[in-house]
């Protein structure tokens, strides 16, 4: 079976997530691209070698589309994910899963009722580095402390960017912090508790940066840092896990294809482990194909996404901000 995929939104991330890796994934073909602006849709369809451009409604109604990749802003994920599964399409939806936990729960209910695959595009989760980290975590002893961060230089995300638009699900925690929150949750193996949070806002109600303190099982603690206003250059994403017997240090767990280090420190020295530079998106697209075609289980389910969105909502509340509004709230 060839999985016939449609792109819902001519988004920048679609090229990295689907267009670039598709030629390396057997039995997946991009057959259509939907855009609100017909001119933009036709332009990107031609640029990316996609057979045709169409509207969102036409994409969901198409008999030759088995699944859709949704790359809209987060506030639109619920609307189009629910519409897609109601139209009988499998879904690969960008992170964060939704504007907030309530919207995410609605998406999960629709996915469960449909029996279709709905995968959240946490691409890091599908890279071989994850297996390496899990093996090391099992050797660290009881986890005491986790530190996870992702910061982008201010010059790369001006305040005019849609990531500063509250109505579209803007904020550093939504766009960037969702990754380190995911790493912490993965390390603990369960949803941690938000203890406190502090946000800096350059646009009203939209966090340019945020620091969140969390508590995990057995009294373990964690700190998550997200920032769209890092001074100077971008800071590579990082994950540090301190156990009773050893510490694991990872640079760039987000995208090892651009270079990553995996180190283990013990009282007797430091060991570095080689990391594959395969693209995370390649492994993610293969996992999506396998989930649809052969029913292979996958970790970034909508149920897991609801938990992460709950953490994000809790972080906003702890920082004195409201969770990102649902689209229906904006529409009155």
Under 8 Å between Cβ of 281 and 151: no
Identify the pLDDT of residue 332. Answer: 34
What span, in angstroms and rounded, lies between the C-alpha atoms of 277 and 259? 7
- 306 within a domain of the structure (yes/no): no
Question: Which domain CATH number covers 159?
Answer: 3.30.360.10
Residue 43 and residue 8 share a domain: yes
Q: Which band of pLDDT confidence, cut at 50, 70 and 90, is reported for residue 105? A: very high
Question: Which domain CATH number covers 35?
Answer: 3.40.50.720
Q: 74-89: per-residue pLDDT in tens?
A: 999 999 999 999 999 9
Identify the pLDDT of residue 16. Answer: 95
Domain that holds residue 78: 3-122+282-300
Kindly list the catalytic residues. 95
Q: 219-275: per-residue pLDDT in tens?
A: 999 999 999 999 877 788 999 999 999 999 999 999 999 999 999 999 999 999 999
Identify the pLDDT of residue 331. Answer: 44
Task: Compute the average pLDDT of residues 152-162.
Answer: 91
H or E element in which residue 84 lies: helix 77-86
Residue 151 and residue 57 share a domain: no
Q: Which two tokens stand for residue 111?
A: 């996915």
Under 8 Å between Cβ of 148 and 180: yes
Count of the separate structural domains present in the chain: 2
pLDDT reading at 329 higher than 60: no
Question: DSSP string covering 92-106, please?
Answer: EEPSS-SSSHHHHHH
Q: Which residue has the higher pLDDT, 155 or 287?
A: 287
H or E element in which residue 266 lies: strand 261-266
Residue 290 and residue 261 share a domain: no
Residue 270 and residue 175 share a domain: yes
Residue 245 and residue 116 share a domain: no
Residue 262 and residue 195 share a domain: yes
- 321 within a domain of the structure (yes/no): no
- 213 within a domain of the structure (yes/no): yes
What span, in angstroms and rounded, lies between the C-alpha atoms of 199 and 225? 10
Residue 293 and residue 272 share a domain: no
What span, in angstroms and rounded, lies between the C-alpha atoms of 318 and 43? 44
pLDDT reading at 330 higher than 60: no
Task: Compute the average pLDDT of residues 285-300.
Answer: 98
Question: DSSP string covering 26-59, please?
Answer: TTEEEEEEE-SSHHHHHHHHHHHT-S-EE-HHHH
Identify the pLDDT of residue 234. Answer: 79
- 90 within a domain of the structure (yes/no): yes
H or E element in which residue 197 lies: strand 193-203
Residue 170 and residue 86 share a domain: no
- 319 within a domain of the structure (yes/no): no
- 65 within a domain of the structure (yes/no): yes
- 329 within a domain of the structure (yes/no): no
- 61 within a domain of the structure (yes/no): yes
Identify the pLDDT of residue 217. Answer: 96
Residue 250 and residue 221 share a domain: yes
Task: Compute the average pLDDT of residues 297-312.
Answer: 98
Residue 242 and residue 148 share a domain: yes
Q: Which two tokens stand for residue 41?
A: 């849709």
Looking at the chain, how many residues does it have? 332
Average pLDDT over the chain, rounded to an integer:
96
Residue 166 and residue 41 share a domain: no
H or E element in which residue 287 lies: helix 280-294
Question: DSSP string covering 143-165, please?
Answer: EEEEEEEEEEEGGGS-TTSGGG-
Residue 135 and residue 271 share a domain: yes
Q: Which residue has the higher pLDDT, 155 or 16?
A: 16
């Amino acid at each position: 079976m060839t999985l016939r995929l449609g792109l819902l939104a001519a988004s920048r991330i679609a090229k990295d997530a689907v267009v670039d890796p598709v030629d390396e994934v057997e039995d997946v073909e991009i057959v259509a691209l939907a855009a609100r602006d017909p001119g933009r849709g036709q332009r990107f369809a031609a640029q990316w070698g996609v057979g045709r451009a169409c509207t969102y409604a036409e994409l969901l109604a198409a008999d030759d589309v088995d699944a859709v990749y949704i790359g809209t802003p987060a506030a639109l994920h619920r609307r189009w994910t629910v519409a897609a599964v109601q139209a009988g399409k499998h879904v690969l939806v960008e992170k964060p899963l939704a504007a907030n936990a309530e919207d995410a729960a609605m998406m999960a209910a629709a996915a469960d009722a449909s029996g279709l695959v709905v995968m959240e595009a946490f691409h890091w989760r599908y890279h071989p580095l994850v297996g390496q980290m899990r093996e090391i975590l099992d050797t660290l002893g009881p986890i005491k402390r986790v530190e996870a961060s992702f910061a982008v230089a201010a010059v790369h995300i001006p305040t005019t960017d849609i990531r500063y638009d509250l109505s579209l699900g803007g904020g550093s925690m939504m766009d960037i912090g969702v990754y380190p929150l995911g790493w912490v949750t993965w390390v603990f193996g369960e949803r941690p508790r938000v203890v406190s949070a502090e946000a800096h806002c350059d646009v009203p109600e939209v966090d340019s940066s945020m620091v969140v303190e969390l508590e995990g099982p057995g009294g373990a603690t964690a700190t998550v840092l997200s920032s769209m206003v890092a001074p100077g250059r971008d800071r590579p994403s990082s994950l540090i896990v301190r156990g009773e017997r050893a510490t694991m240090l990872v640079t760039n767990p987000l995208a090892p294809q651009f270079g990553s280090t995996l180190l283990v420190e013990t009282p007797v020295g430091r060991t570095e482990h080689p990391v594959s530079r395969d693209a995370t998106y390649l492994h993610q697209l293969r996992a999506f194909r396998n989930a649809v075609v052969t029913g292979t289980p996958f970790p970034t389910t909508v149920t897991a996404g609801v938990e992460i969105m709950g953490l994000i909502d809790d972080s906003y509340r702890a920082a004195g901000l409201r969770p990102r509004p649902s689209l229906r709230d904006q529409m009155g």
